[in-house]
Structure 1
Amino acid sequence: MRFRLPTAFAFDRRAVLGLTVLLVLAIGYAAQHFWLGRPHPVAVPAISITESTADPATDGAPAHHPAELSLVIDISGKVQNPGLRTLPAGSRVADALTAAGGPIPGTDTSTLNLARPLTDGEQILVGIENANAGAPAVPTGPVSLNHSSAEQLDSLPGVGPALAQRILQYRLMHGPFQSLDQLRHVPGIGPRKYEDLKPLLTL
């Protein structure tokens, strides 16, 4: 003889089982929702605070560099463009010659030391014989305007190195003197000086 549970009891058992399953699902859903919704710690980057050692008076100020040094030289004689030239410090005679346009064709520059460093305020005479010689000798006769050197012209009374150079420069620019009277056109020679020099000169 078999024992059977009442139908109502079997129904209640199924209901309890269903409720249990629903309860487990609800608890699982709540646990998942709680886990996902929990606050997460946020890492804050450390801020390094260093004390500035820069001087506020000079911070951002542009650096000052000393002005580049330059030389002023006077290059004269048989060059294309004689006169004053401004060259960078450390320049040499070759640089001065280039700045003056180079020597006139046929000019002998073998007496020049092209590698010699320049000094501020110096004068370079190109293609003039004995231009750098010592004190000129006193002339024993008339000095030729068309064939004399700077040394010979410098030996004349009242004619210094600068005026002698201007006479040579005039001769280079205008060709040989055609008359002694042309000497009046040289800057620095007035009527009085011309009269003093005229007896001492020849073409």
Structure 2
Amino acid sequence: MPPSDPPPVEVSRVRPHRLRVSVGAAVVLGLVVLSAAVGVGIMRGQAAPSETVPLTGAAASPSPSGDLYVHVLGAVEHPGLYVLDLDARLVDAVAAAGGTTDDADLAAVNLARVLTDGEQIVVPAVGAVAEPGAPATGTADDRIDLNSADQAALETLPRIGPALAERIIAWREDNGRFQSVDDLLAVPGIGEKLLEAIRDVARV
């Protein structure tokens, strides 16, 4: 009697189970490694020192210039705009303008006065009516001093408007003092007829 065949061994149920376990373990392992890498990166980012960026350009605070601007007019050798130190006094402004002329009335100004930025200083001539440091001045006989009057005072002259007053001041700043009323003829826009209208109400 021939021997009987051995019963078949069932293996199909074992291998798929092992395969599923292996894939699951790989996924879990990958997640653990990824989490560890992310954690290390975060820790390194927190440990990195912060970098301070200095302010430049318009964002930076400007430093003060330490200067003040004053406009010196009147009985000085060189009328004009001057840049002085912040602690300058009126005597410094007069010195910057070359000093006073022979007809300057020093009793009418306070040379020890502290200056402020942007002010106009007029050193009056002897006989002119002016307060210390005042930009406008007239004269004791009510005539306008062409060398110390400001624009408002010059506009009180006959037929002198803002434009001509500015030209008179500009000529005075560029050329120094008027030596006579007739010097007004050198100012653009002033002719003989206008000069005759001004002559009796102006002086130098």
Q: What TM-score do you get using the length of structure 1 for normalisation?
A: 0.48
TM-score normalized by the length of structure 2: 0.47
